[in-house]
Structures are given as structure tokens and as C-alpha cells.
Structure 1
Amino acid sequence: MDSTQLNSYAKVVDNGVKAVEEVKQLRSTGYAYDNIFVLAHDEKRTDRIADVANANEIGIKEEGMFDSLANLFRSRGDELRAKITSLGFTDAQADAYEKELDLGKVLIIAKR
């Protein structure tokens, strides 16, 4: 599943290896480090993939203070959807991507 939304690019890949390859590909096409994000359903997996791929995690800068605080009280699925929408995707797109993450896949998002 690929998508482009208002200068945001998203791609779902099957595993961490493919996520690292996708991040490298995005860098080679001109995306900056600060604008490439990795997201997996498991937080620790997100951390590991982001470290290996030299990519970012979606944080307070992207979400804003309110959503970051609200995420402390949300389910993981709700938190993931909030992170995805904070980067310019619709609720419907966030829901579809979150379902892919539930299946163990990895989401890469890049912004211009």
C-alpha cells in the first residue's frame, strides 16, 4: 500500500529489512533525514528499525503537545492513528495503515 497526500509519501513494507531499504531509497531521491519516519505496531520494534535505518520516529514535534500527552492515555491503535494523521493523512488512511501495522508490517512516511 502506497499513498501520497499533500507532499507526504507513505509505504507499507513487510519487515524491517525492507523498511531500511525504503529509507535508503527515499534518501537517494532527496528526502532529508528529518522528514523520514518509521512506524511499527510495537514501540521497541519502531525504535530498532528507526535506529538501523537512521530514520525518525513520530514525536512531539510532529504531533504537538496535546496529542503527545493524549497518547499516554490512548490504546496503541489510537496512538498510531493519531501519529499518522499528525503527518497529514486522513482518518480513513490512518485506519487503513494501522490495520497493516496490526499484521506486523512497517510504515515508512516521508514529507517534503
Structure 2
Amino acid sequence: MDSIGAQAYAKILENGVQAIEEVKRLQDSGFTREDIYVISHDQNREDRIAEAAGAGEVGMNEEGLFGTLANMFRSRGDELRSKISSLGFSEAEADFYEKELDLGKVLVIAKKRPS
């Protein structure tokens, strides 16, 4: 899944520098801050990369109230799979991406919001 013209786009990157570059590339192609998400297994790292790149965060708008509250009681892996699924990916895709995040990689997702 590596097509910028698609409704939802996801790319696994090796590090934060590559993730920031990818976010900038997506912004140059027409995605806004609210359309782009950076996800990492380490929450602090995720926050730093998202801030540096100018990307949004998966929150209540994407997950809904129940999903956001449930994440408070989930393991980080379960929370990540939930966030990825809330952006329109299947359970199998969310599981695949979460395993890549376990390896220290960074996931950048871009999804156009409905008009």
C-alpha cells in the first residue's frame, strides 16, 4: 500500500528522519496536517516525530469516544492496532503494521477526510 492517490496510504519507515521526510512529501502532494498520522511503538518518540513533521494524532475523531477510553486500559500493542484499524485498515493489516512497529520502525499514514 504505497500509492499517494489512494484514499488511505501507509508506509513503514526505518527511522524518524525518514518519517519526517515522508510527511513533508505527503504535505507537498496535497495532504494536510489533519490527514497525516505518525505512529511509533514508543509514545514519546511518536509525539516528537509528529511535532517535528507537522503531523496529526489519532484521537477521538478517528477512534470515537469508546475507542479512546478503551485505549487507556489496553497494552500499547493493542492500542496501536486499534488506532491503525480506526484509520480504515483491516485487522490483518493492523497486526502486520504493529509487528513492524515492534521492530522500532515508524508508520506514516495519510487518509483524506470525507468532504
| Interval containing the TM-score (normalised by the shorter chain) | over 0.9
Unpaired stretches in structure 2, ≥5 consecutive residues: none
- Bigger shift: 55-64 or 87-96? 55-64
CA separation of 1:67 and 1:3: change in aligned 2, threshold 3 A: farther
The aligned counterpart of 2:63 is 63
Unpaired stretches in structure 1, ≥5 consecutive residues: none
The aligned counterpart of 1:34 is 34
| 1:11-65 deviation digits (Å, cap 9, x = unpaired) | 0000000000000000111111110000000100100000100101111111100
TM-score (normalised: structure 2): 0.92
Letter in 2 for 1:10: A
Letter in 1 for 2:60: I
Q: Report the alpha carbon displacement of residue 3 of structure 1 after superposing the two structures with TM.
A: 4.7
RMSD over equivalenced CA pairs, Å: 1.1
Letter in 1 for 2:36: I
Please say if residues 46 and 57 of structure 1, whose CA atoms lie closer than 8 Å, have aligned partners that are also in contact: no
Distance 1:75 1:111 in 2: 25
Please say if residues 8 and 88 of structure 1, whose CA atoms lie closer than 8 Å, have aligned partners that are also in contact: yes
Pairing 1:27-106 to 2, within 5 Å after superposition: 27-106=27-106
SS in 2 for 1:38: strand
Q: Percent identity?
A: 59
TM-score (normalised: structure 1): 0.94
Distance 2:108 2:46 in 1: 10
